[in-house]
A and B are shown apart, each in its own frame.
Chain A
């Protein structure tokens, strides 16, 4: 596996055209969000995209389910062409399950991220990675291309990170779901004033 390419090597070929964005009436998108690429971007209900987030669909579509929160300066979408070995019928681009929180400055190129997983500030998730449900990728952790993280795992430490599975999380799972919904609600009230 090679190191993931740096953000600066990103080429936005068709800036003038822009992607086709499909969104719900409850989706909140900051005006300073940068949408680039040509492939479709779909945003579910109650999704909030904060200031200066970057959505790049040049190399694959982006699919964000409901109740996701994309924080400031986060980057979603493939920044380089996907691996050619991908089989037919497999999910392409970046897919976020409901309730995923991407914190500020994180770079997400993962193929899929499970429900109620949180990607913390400055973390990087490489191309083709698959992250399970209720996971936590701690701040500044860099997950390489094609990394697979099972459900309920915490990836912490530095660099590629160390992993551990959470035990006894059944009691706390509900709490996290509630926390995400509350966070989104508060943000919505701040933005819309109601």
Chain B
């Protein structure tokens, strides 16, 4: 992780903490007030500002935990074809066109012709699939396609090696399949087994309410629910049949029923293949999970149909208002509604304030912060709102963790100017214009660098048009040798912002989402506030100075 970083804690996690906790947890309660970035729970509530949304109706930050997602469109990432949601389930979420993914590297496969005459190649087959990235082609498994129309079903009939599967061996029960060529294709074995067990189930207990006629299990009907409940409550009387009546189920006994007899020769062949072709010929776990029937070797991998992607809209979990709504058209990347927190809450950045060159102290290194010596950092808050904001920062005097580094924000209360038009400020008075130099995060700043400026308690370090910088002073304790992650200095900061925002007139404007610029009769200002915890990752605490200093470069 690179320092410094800022994470924002979504307040929705507070709901999960007990409100009326027992009195014996008094000490714990006190500790829960200050947000501890080290607690395991913190990992689930900390987000970067870019990942947060903002609900205008609740006037609150919304994180992925406190939003609801709704699928707007299903589409294929390869051909951008939009699939109607009614078809998605029956097609198992895969594209029905000639969109396939490489079995080796999951890149999209291109359909190319291998017609011997190069002139005819754009028109005539046979066609193959080829990967532009890893150079895999369907020729490696012996597949060539006759037509472009129905590659999908043709693929279903093909076996690895290019032969066609035996046509429907299960229906021709009258003619027993020849022993010499049992269909060992995993797909057909599976269908044979499935139909065999379905017939077994329906004949053994035809009245089982859990089973639908097609052989699936039906949990939604009232009778099956009653049966499930009776299983749990122990009243076994429901649906119990005379054991004499039901015939016990038998297992499949021949290849037409999906029986596969273990062949020791296949094992020897596999071992031989491992010996000759080695590690590179085995399929990786990632490759296997993409397949319907995970094979051992890369030579048995089949191309997969492209998986559909979705466009989703997001709603506030509390008030159900839409926070994000993308354009339904697949080709468009625009959004109809997008209430991102970036437009509502200040961005927080931290950078080291280097010691004055005259003191001859070494420059601050965020990966080795000085121990037992005050180091200063510049904390800059940038206001995205069009109204001036009043900020109050709070931080525990000692950063959480057993090392308790001392943290002081020299000026915890300050204002940030509005994110107004550049023109406003150009037309404004001279004093304002002077202060409005650009905020640069890359510039290295020194104590006393410009006009001999030194950090003072209660004073803002620097102020711009819509940003304000204050100084944070940190005195790190010696962390010693132990523990991973113990040397990371993270400061929890409680940020409270107050501002006067324009009220949204609910009663006259209607509840039109976002209030698309209705009537602007009277502009009433309303006092608003928002408070949340921020975690600022400052850096790693270095080793205690002295003998170790000489060793470090």
Tell me, yes or no, whether B249 is within 8 Å of chain A by CB: no
Q: CA of A163 to CA of B135 in the docked complex: distance in angstroms?
A: 12
| Chain B residues, Cβ within 8 Å of A157 | 105
How many A-B residue contacts, CB cutoff 8 Å? 33
Tell me, yes or no, whether A164 is within 8 Å of chain B by CB: yes
- Which of B133, B137, B299 contacts A172 (CB under 8 A)? B137
Given known contacts A163-B280, A164-B104, is B134 in contact with A154 (CB within 8 Å)? yes
Q: Residue of B at shortest CB range from A169?
A: B135
Tell me, yes or no, whether B210 is within 8 Å of chain A by CB: no
Q: Residue of B at shortest CB range from A155?
A: B134
Given known contacts A156-B105, A171-B114, is B280 in contact with A166 (CB within 8 Å)? no
| A164:B134 contact, CB within 8 angstroms | yes
Return B311 CB to nearest CB of chain A, in Å.
28
Given known contacts A138-B133, A156-B105, A156-B133, is B140 in contact with A167 (CB within 8 Å)? yes
Return A128 CB to nearest CB of chain B, in Å.
22
| Chain A residues, Cβ within 8 Å of B133 | 138, 156
Q: A154-B134, A164-B298 are in contact. List 15 more A-B contacts (CB 8 A).
A: A136-B134, A138-B133, A154-B135, A156-B104, A156-B105, A157-B105, A162-B280, A162-B284, A163-B280, A164-B104, A164-B134, A164-B136, A164-B280, A166-B140, A171-B139
| A165:B137 contact, CB within 8 angstroms | no
| Chain A residues, Cβ within 8 Å of B284 | 162
- Which of B105, B134, B137, B298 contacts A168 (CB under 8 A)? B137
Return B383 CB to nearest CB of chain A, in Å.
39
Q: CA of A166 to CA of B140 in the docked complex: distance in angstroms?
A: 8
Residues of A within 8 A of B (CB): 136, 138, 154, 156-157, 162-169, 171-172
Return B350 CB to nearest CB of chain A, in Å.
28
| Chain B residues, Cβ within 8 Å of A167 | 139-140, 299
| Chain A residues, Cβ within 8 Å of B135 | 136, 154, 166, 169
| Chain B residues, Cβ within 8 Å of A156 | 104-105, 133-134
**Count of chain B residues near A, Cβ 8 A:** 14
User: Can you list, as one digit per residue, whether each of B188-219 has a CB less than 8 Å from chain A (1) or not (0)?
Assistant: 00000000000000000000000000000000
Q: CA of A136 to CA of B134 in the docked complex: distance in angstroms?
A: 8
Q: CA of A169 to CA of B104 in the docked complex: distance in angstroms?
A: 16
| Chain A residues, Cβ within 8 Å of B139 | 167-168, 171
Return B318 CB to nearest CB of chain A, in Å.
41
| A168:B114 contact, CB within 8 angstroms | no
Return B195 CB to nearest CB of chain A, in Å.
35
List 8 A-B pairs, minimum CB-CB distance, nearest first: A168-B139, A167-B140, A156-B134, A168-B140, A154-B135, A154-B134, A163-B280, A166-B135
- Which of B134, B140, B299 contacts A138 (CB under 8 A)? B134
| Chain A residues, Cβ within 8 Å of B104 | 156, 164
| Chain B residues, Cβ within 8 Å of A168 | 137, 139-140
Q: Residue of B at shortest CB range from A138?
A: B133
B114, B139, B298, B299: residue with the most chain A Cβ atoms closer than 10 Å: B139
Q: CA of A138 to CA of B105 in the docked complex: distance in angstroms?
A: 12
Selected A-B contacts with CB under 8 Å, 20 pairs: A136-B134, A136-B135, A138-B133, A154-B134, A156-B105, A156-B133, A156-B134, A157-B105, A164-B104, A164-B136, A164-B298, A166-B135, A166-B136, A166-B140, A167-B139, A167-B140, A168-B137, A168-B139, A169-B135, A171-B114
